[in-house]
Structure formats: structure tokens, C-alpha cells
Structure 1
Amino acid sequence: MTSHGGGRLDVLVAGAGPTGLTLALSAHDHGARVRIVDRRPDECRHSRAFLVQPRTLEVLRPYGIAEDLVVHAAPARVHLHLHGRCLPVDAGRLRLPRTAFPRFLLVRQGEVELFLRRALRARGVEVEWGTNLHSIRTGDDGVVGVGTRDGCPTRIGSRFLAGCDGTASTVRRAAGISWNGAAYPQKILLADIELDGDLHPGVAHIAIHRRGVLFLLPLGDVARWRVVTAQQPNRSPASGERRFVQQLLDEAQLPADVTEVAWSEWVQIEHRLASRYQSGPIFLAGDAAHTCSPAGGQGMNTGIQDAANLGWKLAYSAAGRTQDVSALLRSYEQERRPVGRHVVSLSDALFRAEAGPDPVCSLVRHAFSRAGAPLVPPLLRAPLLSAPALRVLAQFDRRYRHSPLSIGTAGTGRTMDHWIVTRPAAPGTRIPDDEVTVDGAPRRLQELTATPAVHVLLHRDTRWQAPGRAGHRLRIHRIGSWPGTGIAIVRPDGYVGFRSTTGTAGAVEWLEMIGALPG
């Protein structure tokens, strides 16, 4: 096997999109030797995703990415266009509670990738462009990728291979994993354009009409505006691209003239799910494991969260300290494939409502475009109505309750801190960003756990001594504002793994199971 950086390679990542970059970063920061390759000659490509969810920001925070994305996000101003009526929407009202990142962000996929590449480069890891894996061979000691780099033969050996190489994944095909689902009859038009007219600049415009929904975003890669809309295959720009895009804006009753189409692309979209996420030392993540419509902005975010789940597990398994390596690795598919299935189903339902050609969908869109304007302000002013939908889109309700890594012991007592005994912090759920007291000072939970490690949270009166010394894999915090003798252990991806409301029995065994104790 080949080596890298003076030692054995632990994780080879195929694909340098948001998923692959996050996976390489996560695995590296948890101690793995990593290489990341991509068949493209360089990083240049047009963005296809623009929405970053709060949960995605939470999982990126330990790697120093989240704050950069918040700073560089486009202003969250939205104008909703309904049958020629422009309705300004105060997106600032759409805030999620108990998180350090209460808002959805408008950020180009290209910028997400840029910040991830910079973070990897700062750690000495560069994307190896122009590297195309043609075949994969597995053995007792790992996997070997065989292919070319800049036209020359290359072989890369590694303990694990992560296929993050998109919907046409070479890794998935080589692993013999089936790709279940179908293509939509519609295609997505992406176009970067310049406009002249009466549209507010720097605002995301969303127009709902009988044929569907048209998004006009101030986030073009090579022009000021990006058009995103679904179209039937029989609607082609035979009369010229600029006239065709102008026709789309006219149908949506947007008061603007297209002066230039700087770039455009028709994208075939599908709804598919891999039959497995793992085959021996080979794993799939992101669009290689699931693909869906762009409705709801789920695709890129789900891939990044796949990577945050898998990266630390590969690193801990490669270190050889886990009690049961196969169980830790199997937990990735057990936890993330149900999420992928749900995301594909949710996006499919949203896309059919947004762009479905059947008469019922068309009638509902037409009725809402004509009569829905009065309904929007009350919905935005009523958190009880909007919050559940926002939580679903933000993936805050994704739980790993049935994972083998989600372990809790029974306990009662009203002296426990409220978040430990209530549903949001049961094993397998994300921790909320509540305020706690540590060493007599106020801290936020998500800030306290925002380093790449396993975090042990001891209640004020808990007596517990971790075997060995806490190190980069294990951080221990005593929460002075939590009375009682309980313990909670937070995984590197921000989910509660172990919880006991009375005592610490089972905590050491859980840490040994995942390999978090110092060697």
C-alpha cells in the first residue's frame, strides 16, 4: 500500500464537494491521516446550492467554518411575488430557538467549498485535482483505489475509502451498491443573468404562479442574479436563451428586463437512495448516497451532516482503540440512511407542490398566488405555526434514538437540569444551546462543546474519574448549574451518546465502545 505524509493512510476521500471536504476535515481533526482527490481539473464550477441550514452550521462550528459562513452570507431579505403583488418578508422573524445559529443563510455552494478548502489547507491537506479513480480493490487491510492523476497511472491505498463523488459515483458502482429511484420529468434551469427594471437589488425574489415557483437570487457566480426554476422538457429555449428567460420572468410577473444571460445550465434532477451506505471499508456520503430535488434546500446540508457523522467514526476506528470497530462503523448507515430516506421523501413532496404539472398542484399554486398574500404576515408573526416547519427544514428533529451508540440508563428526580430529563436531550438527539454555569461563569452549551472531541458533562455533585488523562479526544466539564449526580456524554457531531440521570454506571464502557479513551 502507498503511504502519505510518512505513515499509513487512514481515510481516502473521493470527491471535493461540500461533503467530501467536510469529511476530510472531520477525519483529520479527529486524528486520521487523510487524502482527498477529485476527478475535476480544478475547483472551478458553478454553484448549485445556496441555502445553509442552522444544523449544518452547528456541525461545522468545531472546525472553524460556521462563523465565516455567517459573516459572508447574503442579507436575509426576501420579496414574495404573488400575481404581480410584491410582499416583503421579514426573514429575521424566522428564528429557531435554543441554537447558536437561529437563521437559515443564503450562501453560494462555491463559498462553502472555499472556506472548507482553506481550513484543510491550513492543516496541510490539499485537494488532489485531476485524480480519477477507475477501479477499487478491497482486502483484509483496507482498500486500494486505482486510477490516473493528470493522465498518469496512480494507486492509493487506505484503511477506508469514502465515496463523496456525486450522483454518478464511481465508488458506488465499484462497490456494487444499487441506486434506487428515478429521474423527474422536469429539469432545473440555472442561469446567471443581468437585469434592468424595478426589482430591489440584494433581495431574494420568490415568485409563485400557476406553472411553478421561480427563484431570483442575488447570488450569481458570473452575473448579479441567479435564476432557479423547474421546467417541463417540452419547454426549450428554441427562440434564444435570453428571450426564453425573459418569458419565464414575464410569466412570474417580475418587473424586469433580461439584458444578459452570462451562463446557463439545464440540470436533470432525480430522487434516489443507495441501497447501502457501507460495503466493507467503503462508505458513501452526500449525493453518492442520496439525491433529491432542490426543494427545501436539503441536499448539500444533508451531505455535510453525513460527513460530520462519518468523519470521527472513521478516525476513531483507524486509531484502533474502539471496543468493537465494526459496530461503530455500522452505526453510520444505521443512523444516516433513515435520514437520507426521509430527506428524499420530503424533497419529493415539496417539489411536487412547487413544480408538479398535475392540475391539483397547478390549481393550488394559482389560488395561492391570487389570494395568499393576506395569509403570509400572520404566519410569520405566529412562531407556533412556523416553528415546526422550520425545525423540519433545519433537520433539528433528526434523532438517532435506535442507534447502538445511543445509550441511557433510567432515572428520576426533579433535581436534574431540565434539558437532561426532557425529550430534546435524550440519547441520540442534538444538544440545545442552553446557558449553563461552568467554573462559576455563564457558558453556552454549544460553545462549550465546539471543539473536535467527545465532551463529558458532569452534574454539580457527580463523582467520576475518567480512566487515564483527558486529552484531545476527551474533554470533561463540570456543570455547576446542574444539581444532582448525573452525566451526559456528547459525541463529536453534537448528539448525546450516553446519559445517566443518577450516577455514572456505564459511562466508561460507552467511551471504550467508541474508542474515546486515551491510549
Structure 2
Amino acid sequence: MVAPHGGNVTPAVDVLVVGAGTTGLSLALQARAHGARVRVVERRPGPFRPSRALILHSRTLEVLRPLGVTDALLELADTAPRVHVRLGSRVVDAGLADLALPDTAFPHLSLLRQTDVETVLTRALADRGMTVERGTELLGARDDGDGVRAVLRSRHGVEEIRCPFVVGCDGPASAVRSCAGIGWHGRPYAEEVVLADLDLGGTPPEAGAEVFAGRQGLLFLFPLGEQATWRLLATRASDGGAGQCFGRPGPAVPRAELQQLMDDSGAGARIARLAWSARVPLQCGLARRFRRGRLFLAGDAAHTYSPATGQGMNAGIQDAVNLGWKLGFATNGAGRGPAEGFDAEVLLGSYESERRAAARGRLVLTHAAFWAEASTGRFPAWLRAVAAPRAAPAFPVLLGRRRLVAEAVRVVSQLRVNYRRSPLSVEGTPPLRGAPRPGDRLPDATVGVAGAAGRLHAVLARPGVHLLLQRDAAPLPSGPWVTVLRLSNSPGRGLVAVRPDGHVGFRCAAADPVGLTGWLALIGAAPSAPVGP
């Protein structure tokens, strides 16, 4: 095996990540943080531009926090966005900050361009000694039972490497999915998205985001353009002329068509300068499997959605964080076997069972939202153009119902996603009542640790497994991937084991050393000696 840089031997790699978008970069960080040697390759010679995604959800920021990147992301984000929704002649002003979500450190929607997210994640990889190999294409990958043989081509030539795992984070036309022979179930939308960066006359960016509802669909203006002040996103009926490269920007849209879209929506602004535009064909789809043997799919390679509710980038990052720690622990546990309670097949198989179920739920959500947002059918067009303006006076009242708004944000942000049916979700003996169930996301809360009060998620903001002991629980040893914390403000003798992605894996109301040891062995984080009092 020859490296792409001359005749040196290729360094040992545990995980080959194909694709360097937000999904691939997040997966590389998570796998590396949990002990895997990672290599990231990207077919394109440079980062993909311009951005398509513009929103980071609360849950996405939570799962990235242990990787040490959220502060840098928030510095670049608008965490107190205001949106002016224009329904005919009526305007509804909506604030998207402080959304009555006390169980998260990020109770807001964050407006942030995908390009900025990729910049932060790429810098974090570089800080850990990893670089993205751009201009490197996967030609083939074959699982031979004991590993994967992958063939890569770059400007240095063709090389073959062998590694335990390959993950396809390479988009809807995934080469890894093709190599794995995984089928795709999906269908195109009759509507398409129009994107553009432009300057407008008489509309200052300080006004915030603008949304216009009309019979033909919604039109969004975000002050987040990359080549001009404003990013326009609009939906309209597709004539099929953009081809079948779903999710990818296609031909440019003439300035006259863009102006007509704005006029039809009631935007009332003139395009002063058009920097860039494209039409984007859309589909909703789901890979029939997220894994075949040692080949895995994540992000757009595994599922595609409409842009409604902003799921694409967020779902991919959450896939990556779920899978990354499992690949790391599977690599670290390769020397152990069933006699020690570790079965890599159970650990790795849980990725598909957990994230494919979540993806199916998001398909339903995004499809329903996109129907209301973009369908040109008679009824949804009437809802946008007639019913919504008539109901506009009631919107401030609904927005004032902070709990109602917060619940909607929980669903959209995937704060409600759980893995209760996962093989990694284990109830100890006796069960601990009043605590999140195994498989549930661990909510944030004020806790007492080491004599000081703080927020739970801040305490857990580091890689690995965390064992949370109640005040009177028997002490437990820590380990290379296990941190033990005692919550002084939580009376009782129970414990909660938290996975690296922030979901509860195990709980019990009293000492259950056999159950805890078994669960730690199950995920590949078992200590060298059995857990006991």
C-alpha cells in the first residue's frame, strides 16, 4: 500500500471518511475523540460553495459541545434572530431566541451558514493533527469480512488502502452507497428551490430575516449571503429542466425570473445586484439500509429531505455523532471478545436501528411541512394566500404561548428523539424512577458536583461515557473512557450512565455492578476490572 505522497507506507487508518461536508467533518472529530485513527478524503478540490444550509438547531449544538467547537460556532451565529413573516398586507414579527427551553443550554435557533460550520470543524480537525485530503476520489470499496479494501485516486495517482471501516458522507449520489450495493427509496418533488445571493434596494440587513407567503410558495430573505448581502430562498413548481442531480445547485436563474418571484410574493424590493443564483431539484428519500458490513452511510448519503424545518445539515451531524463514538469504541475493543462481554456487531448495528428510525420520523415531518410551504395545489395555495392572512391577528397570541412554541422547537430540533428500543438501552435492577429512561436524551439541569453548583451539560462537555451517581450511591472506579461524577443535590443510591452522544444508556436505583459492567462491556467501554462495591 502506497501513500499519495511519494513512496511512504500509508499510515494505519481505522476509519476512512469519504466526504468533507459537515457530516464527514463531525464524524471524523467524534471518532478521533474516542480513540480511532481517521482519514478524511473529499472528491472536490475545494469546499463546496455556496452554502445551502443556514440553521443550527439546539440538539445539534448539544451533541457538538463535547468536541469543543460550540463556542466558535456561536461566535459566528445569530443566536437572537428575528423573522418578519409577511402574510398579504399583514406582518407578524417573531423572535427565535429564549424559547422557553430550560433543559438545554441553547434555547434558540441559530442562523449560521454551512460554510462557517465547515470552517470551524475543519479548524478543529487541524488542531487535532488531521487534514482533509481534497481532490481525492473513492473509486471502489469492498468489504472482505476482516476489513475494507478501498481504492483512492488523487493527483498523486491511485492507491489502495485497507482499513476496518469506511463511512460514506458523500451526499445523495454516494459512491460508498453504490459500492455497498445499498438501494434507495425516494421520489422527486414537483417543486424546486431557487437560491440566489443578491443586493436589494431599500432593504437594510438590520431588518432581519423576511418571509413572504404567496400562492406559489414561500420566499425567504436571509441577511446571510456569501457573495452579496442577502440570501434568497424560494420555492416554485419545477419543470424538470434542472436535471436529476437532487440537492445540488443546477443552472442559474435569470434575474428577471428572480424579480418576478419577488414581485409575486409581495416583497416589494428591487434587485440592485445579482451575484449568483441556481435552481435546485429536490427529492425525499431514504437508503434501504444505513450499513452493509463495514460500510456505513451518514447524512445525505443515507437520507434526503426537503429544506422545510432545516433538517439536512442538522440530521447529518447528529448521525455523525451517533456513529463516531461507536466506531471509536469498536476499534478500541477489537482485542476483546464475547467472553469479556463485548460484541462489536451489537454496538455497530445499533447505529442503523437508532438513526434510521429517527430519519423516517423526519421524512414525515419535512414532507408535511414542505407540502404546506411549497405545494402549488389548490388547497395549500389557498392556505398561504387567503387563510393565513386572515388568521394573522391570532399569530401574536399563539407566539405568546411560549410553551407551545417551545414544544414545536423541541420536535423540529430533535430534542424529542429517543432510542428506547435500542439494544444499547438497558434498565438495571431495581429501575431508577423519576430519571430519564434508557435511550432518552439527558436534559440539562442545575446540579451540584464537587461542592459547586453548575449546569449538567457543561459538566459533561467532554468525550466519553459519564456515570452520574446519586448522592449516597456506592463509589465506582473510572476508566480510560469513563468519567464518574457524584451529584450532591440528587438524594438516593442510584446511577445513570450517559453515552458519548448525550443519551442515557443504563440506569438503576441501587448498586447493580453486574448490570453496569455488562452495559459498559456491551458498548466497548468496560474497565479492566469488574465494577463492584
**1:475 counterpart = 2:483:** yes
Q: Specify the SS of the correspondent of 2:97.
A: helix
**1:222 counterpart = 2:231:** no
**1:461 counterpart = 2:469:** no
Q: Specify the SS of the correspondent of 1:201.
A: helix
> Which residue identity lines up with residue 300 of structure 1 in the other structure?
M
**1:421 counterpart = 2:421:** no
Q: How does 1:300-315 map to 2 (within 5 A)?
A: 300-315=313-328
- How many residues end up aligned between the 2 structures? 508
Q: How does 1:18-417 map to 2 (within 5 A)?
A: 18-74=22-78, 75-150=80-155, 152-198=157-203, 201=206, 203-234=208-239, 241-319=254-332, 320=334, 321=336, 323-409=342-428, 411=430
Partners of 2:38 and 2:240 in 1: how far apart? Answer: 46
Deviation (angstroms), 1:220: 0.8
> Which residue identity lines up with residue 454 of structure 2 in the other structure?
R
Q: Relative to structure 1, is the Cα distance of residues 498 and 232 closer, same or farther in structure 2, using a 3 angstrom cutoff?
A: same
Q: Equivalent residue for 1:451?
A: 462
Task: Name the TM-score, length of structure 2 as normaliser.
Answer: 0.91
Contact 1:199 1:256 in 2 (8 A): no
Partners of 2:138 and 2:86 in 1: how far apart? Answer: 46
Q: Specify the SS of the correspondent of 2:149.
A: strand
Deviation (angstroms), 1:65: 1.3
Partners of 2:285 and 2:85 in 1: how far apart? Answer: 31
Deviation (angstroms), 1:85: 3.0
Partners of 1:438 and 1:234 in 2: how far apart? Answer: 60
Partners of 2:329 and 2:9 in 1: how far apart? Answer: 19
> Which residue identity lines up with residue 525 of structure 2 in the other structure?
A
Q: Relative to structure 1, is the Cα distance of residues 135 and 185 closer, same or farther in structure 2, using a 3 angstrom cutoff?
A: same
Q: Relative to structure 1, is the Cα distance of residues 5 and 27 closer, same or farther in structure 2, using a 3 angstrom cutoff?
A: farther
In structure 2, which of residues 488, 491, 506 is the aligned counterpart of residue 498 of structure 1? Answer: 506
Q: Equivalent residue for 1:430?
A: 441
Deviation (angstroms), 1:235: 10
1:180-230 deviation line (CA, Å, top 9, x unaligned): 011112111110011002455351111111211111001111111001111
Deviation (angstroms), 1:121: 0.4
Partners of 1:382 and 1:314 in 2: how far apart? Answer: 43
1:133-175 deviation line (CA, Å, top 9, x unaligned): 1111222321121131126212232110000000000000110
1:270-310 deviation line (CA, Å, top 9, x unaligned): 10000001111100000000001000001110110000000
Runs of at least 5 residues in structure 1 that lack an aligned partner in the other structure: 413-419
Partners of 2:189 and 2:241 in 1: how far apart? Answer: 16
Contact 2:205 2:229 in 1 (8 A): no
1:329-376 deviation line (CA, Å, top 9, x unaligned): 000001000011111121111101101111111111112442132122
Deviation (angstroms), 1:30: 0.6
Q: Relative to structure 1, is the Cα distance of residues 198 and 129 closer, same or farther in structure 2, using a 3 angstrom cutoff?
A: closer
Q: Relative to structure 1, is the Cα distance of residues 200 and 17 closer, same or farther in structure 2, using a 3 angstrom cutoff?
A: closer
Partners of 1:330 and 1:288 in 2: how far apart? Answer: 18
Q: Relative to structure 1, is the Cα distance of residues 2 and 406 closer, same or farther in structure 2, using a 3 angstrom cutoff?
A: farther
Partners of 1:5 and 1:427 in 2: how far apart? Answer: 44
Q: Equivalent residue for 2:519?
A: 510
Q: Relative to structure 1, is the Cα distance of residues 431 and 516 closer, same or farther in structure 2, using a 3 angstrom cutoff?
A: same
> Which residue identity lines up with residue 190 of structure 2 in the other structure?
P
Contact 1:93 1:380 in 2 (8 A): no
Deviation (angstroms), 1:234: 4.1
Partners of 2:205 and 2:326 in 1: how far apart? Answer: 47
CA RMSD of aligned residues (A): 2.1
Partners of 1:21 and 1:239 in 2: how far apart? Answer: 29
Q: Equivalent residue for 1:416?
A: none
Runs of at least 5 residues in structure 2 that lack an aligned partner in the other structure: 243-250, 529-533
Deviation (angstroms), 1:385: 2.2
Contact 2:427 2:438 in 1 (8 A): yes
> Which residue identity lines up with residue 495 of structure 1 in the other structure?
H
Contact 1:12 1:162 in 2 (8 A): yes
Deviation (angstroms), 1:131: 0.6
Q: Relative to structure 1, is the Cα distance of residues 514 and 234 closer, same or farther in structure 2, using a 3 angstrom cutoff?
A: closer
Partners of 2:450 and 2:484 in 1: how far apart? Answer: 12
Q: Equivalent residue for 1:417?
A: none
Deviation (angstroms), 1:387: 2.2
Deviation (angstroms), 1:7: 5.2
1:104-151 deviation line (CA, Å, top 9, x unaligned): 100000001110000000001000000111111222321121131126
Contact 1:242 1:260 in 2 (8 A): no
Partners of 1:337 and 1:477 in 2: how far apart? Answer: 32
Q: Specify the SS of the correspondent of 2:362.
A: helix
Q: Relative to structure 1, is the Cα distance of residues 326 and 69 closer, same or farther in structure 2, using a 3 angstrom cutoff?
A: same
1:228-269 deviation line (CA, Å, top 9, x unaligned): 111112499999722211111111111311011100111111
Partners of 1:154 and 1:433 in 2: how far apart? Answer: 47
